Structure 1
């Protein structure tokens, strides 16, 4: 089924409320659903729900699996811990009693707490045991990216262009690294990543940055994209992808920029390839997987950046971040389908509809010890398993 899409830019909303224009609606058409002969059909183990999910708002409100619980949240403020074996609700917390909490970005679990931010500029820490509120902190700027917890800090990349570190015990602010935000940016931010005492994140000015976690000291910045063109839209260079760390190297990609491999310590580029994307990367250790701004799937060699394969059959289907589940690469789309891809060839292996038609998938499934969990935009949650031998 062909379907006209309202699109801003790179399949997301941009900060000035541009929700697309008539010319884009006339020319950008979602590819029809590919015809796939599925080699397997994942089995549903249990089904649950989380309020109304994120609906059709921009929100990458991804669940997480930790402490033998699956933590999920809705945009309006409902947070739950689910038993991964049965789907039973272990505890539930409503953070939106007085007004919608506008939770966004995703759930992070560490230090016996879960951390989650909101578009209202609030950060919450809840106990993983019973969901009780440990602390709540107001900060400047929307929190659209998943928090990072490390070195006894909770770090948040805000829409105002600041990386802020809070004490994980109290929520008190420890340091703030600010950068200038262009007049026009994509609706989204890079979730920070960390290793060996360093934190790494993408900026809306087209740069990748590194800092020391304990001191909040900026170490280096590396340009991923350079503004070009005559209009502000043409000159967008946001780096919204979360940096991906493999060994001593870091990988990221930007809009109107490049897919880049850099040395962690120095920030020196190892190789660069011209791809434009606002989604996170995935890897199986030897390959990187990219979803471009046109929703083309690309497989790239980690060592050289050489393109190994490309799949264009999901163009403009508003794909989720890619993820690796078992032996396969998986993406969800805006009509609620999961697409299973052969990691070596880029060919389709299986396809399935999750929930009702048009109940889209905004975030990638998460892997469990004995299956995976997928959540739809409307808040339907399913634990599924790939059949043995598939």
Structure 2
């Protein structure tokens, strides 16, 4: 059985994301890859921690908070699954006592997580367990919930959909995968009647949520290189739907956008790769590249609008928008706020001592960060 080997190698590659952006996986120390020191500057944005709530312990890739309405859904590796009020940080409910590999995904009615044994566990709107079903193998990507299904992406490159009400397997789609895959910030997206998933080998898929039929499949980038490590080109972060455009970014690959209203026609592609993902305000894409230079790309044609290299090699998280800033987290637990207009540094605040691996969450009240110690924090800004 290949799964245990793949699981081990995937775990190594999860660490390799940090290693490659630091001093290299197998090389001797190279000062070119040292994290940039923090510099002094005059803040132009006021940053305030509005609340902090402990939901469990630990943090890892695959654990990213999700907002539905006025409720944040989150989980921790220790087994805690929680619903938290956005305005106050108060716990609405907390459940779970099994070590988790990924979670949580929610549509507000059903919240799903996955245990380390590959068991998909679903809770109702009050936090009561309603069903559990076994996935084909381990799951390190948060479940996607909606369109009547709970979908998971397993480590053998299979996407499985379980009935949201009963947990019965509805469909399964599998694609061949490479020898190595990343464990980093990756998320599937629910769209009307569709599940959008990024895959290894730089591919995006749009799947009919009801039947599992693949409606469209396109390539962001092609694998290149002589070794398995060099050929890694997983789609990272969350695929972005902006009107008819579907955009994605891959590790060691590219950033590309496709027009789904025209059969998935490729609109543009740029040689800008990322280890964590990107976000958009509907006009621009914002992302840290492979060396953690933060870039803004025009959504219409992909041309670069600005770049900020002050955070070089600081192992930045997937970004989030907050007010007139774009926020990123780093390996020392700092949140950095950059101007959406020109990329200038506006403010920073330390929210924890460990790396911020979870993607930051944009909300109407500020940015939510899940720390490596299992805390949820809402950080707001004002001019």
TM-score by length of 2: 0.88
What do the CA deviations read for 1:202-230 (whole angstroms, capped 9, x no partner)?
11122222222222112332222222222
- Structure 1 consecutive aligned stretches of length 4 or more whose deviation exceeds 6 Å: none
**Structure 1, unaligned stretches of length 5 or more?**
1-5, 14-18
Q: Do the aligned partners of residues 103 and 31 (structure 1) sit closer, same or farther apart at CA in structure 2, a change above 3 Å counting?
A: same
- Alignment of 1:47 onto 2:16: no
Q: Provide structure 2 residue ranges, at least 5 long, that are not aligned to the other structure.
A: 1-12
Q: TM-score, normalised by structure 1?
A: 0.87
Classify 1:120/1:31 alpha carbon distance in 2 versus 1 (closer, same or farther; 3 Å): farther
Residues 141-290 of structure 1 aligned to structure 2 (within 5 Å): 141-188=137-184, 190-265=186-261, 266-290=263-287
Deviations 1:105-125 (A, max 9, x none): x42222512122244312121
- Give, in whole Å, the separation in 2 of the partners of 1:77 and 1:294: 33
In the other structure, the counterpart of 1:380 is 375
| Structure-2 residue corresponding to 1:16 | none
> Paired residue for 2:43, among 22, 38, 59?
38
Aligned counterparts of 1:12 and 1:95: Cα–Cα separation in 2: 32
* CA drift at 1:232: 1.5
* 1:101-142 deviations in Å (ceiling 9; x for gaps): 2232x422225121222443121211222x111111110122
Q: Say which SS state the counterpart of residue 59 (structure 1) adopts.
A: coil
**Structure 1 counterpart SS, 2:28:** helix
2:355 aligns with one of 353, 356, 360 = 360
What is the rounded CA distance, in whole Å, between the counterparts of 2:192 and 2:200 in structure 1? 25
Would you say the 8 A contact 1:159–1:188 is kept in 2?
no
Secondary structure at the aligned position of 2:236 is classed as coil
Partner of 1:68: 70
Number of equivalences: 367
Q: Any conservation in 2 of the 1:189–1:204 contact (CA below 8 Å)?
A: no
- 1:133-190 CA-partner distances (Å, limit 9, x unpaired): 1111110122222222232111122221011111000111110110111112222474
Taking the aligned partners of 1:12 and 1:371, their CA distance within structure 2 comes to 31
Q: Is the 8 A contact 2:317 2:359 kept in 1?
A: yes
Superposition CA RMSD, Å: 2.4
Query: Contact 1:189 / 1:202 at 8 angstroms: preserved in 2?
Result: no
